[in-house]
Chains A and B, each alone.
Chain A
């Protein structure tokens, strides 16, 4: 089938602002949008720039706005988008070229929530792993699935309005460690999230949950962190 693909283009060496270029290409309904972009780059316009790596929904490189909604190009099929596809960069991050955005501000916010395991207590007597029950592990299982693609954060209107807001992805990463029974820095992270640009900027638009390609219940994770902050309990 012939499809029409409208792609946002921006060349920082030539353009003052972005524009849209339309391509008509042949595609199968089972092709992914990433396949279509690869075809255009390989056969039609080699200057087209976009990020991709694993191409299987694991690395999170190819987050983009497809028909107005954040998705991973490698997980979106042509049969689900229809024969008219509009592809644009994700919102709220500076655009470097075409569909490539500068991810640094996103990762700067991510780093603020201490997204790593902290436990300064001595190891157990046998000197081996810190044990955890299946129930304790299940408590934060959902948020271990995050691949930091930025689909959630860049779909959030609060983040569009204020780039200093940590954003849903950072809060999800904080959730992963706050509710880990082996970690000892929950209080520290809750303190960070209580800052002006922290969790209070979530105004429950719910765009993040729908945008997440890993189907993480982002707003639920944020809600649990809010509750932990209010009650001081991690149950």
Chain B
């Protein structure tokens, strides 16, 4: 007798991991976001008409575009960091620093992108 080993999503998310754990979670959210975007895009093209137009309206919305831009950019930059560390394991001595560099690259790039999207959206 005993409790099963199952770890729920909420229990897993409550684990107090290091900075790398946050990037791990955001990487998954990024992948999921891109999947949702592609699915909506294909669905909109496939069904067409008013329903297709309504789906277009979702992913052409500026708020959704910011979310998708976050997903794509974070997934790409984080993936690049993981690839570099996988190819050069000696750099894993500096894995925390690598995560700080990743944020230092991501934040300004994403900030500029958000600024441009917002300017276009609000400027008409």
Contact = CB atoms under 8 A, between A and B. Distances in A.
B17 A205 contact: yes
A224 B123 CA distance: 52
Interface of A: 10, 12-13, 17-18, 65, 67-69, 91-97, 102, 105, 155, 157, 160-161, 163, 203-207, 209-210, 217, 219-220, 223-224, 226-227
B24 interface: yes
Nearest to A163: B5
Chain B, interface SS category: helix
Nearest to A105: B5
Contact of A210 (B5, B7, B18, B87): B18
Nearest to A224: B89
A210 B4 CA distance: 26
A126 to B, nearest CB: 37
Interface string B13-37: 0111111110010000000000000
Closest 4 CB pairs between A and B?
A206-B20, A223-B89, A68-B16, A160-B7
Contacts of A18: 3
Contact of A12 (B1, B15, B92, B93): B1
A44 B1 CA distance: 26
B1 A13 contact: yes
Contacts of A67: 16
Given A95-B2, A96-B2, A206 B89 contact: no
B5 A206 contact: no
Contact of A17 (B3, B11, B12, B24): B3
B7 A206 contact: no
A97 B11 CA distance: 19
B96 to A, nearest CB: 8
A12 B16 CA distance: 27
B2 A94 contact: yes
B16 A69 contact: yes
B15 to A, nearest CB: 6
B97 interface: no
Interface in B87-102: 87, 89-90, 92-93, 95
B17 A93 contact: no
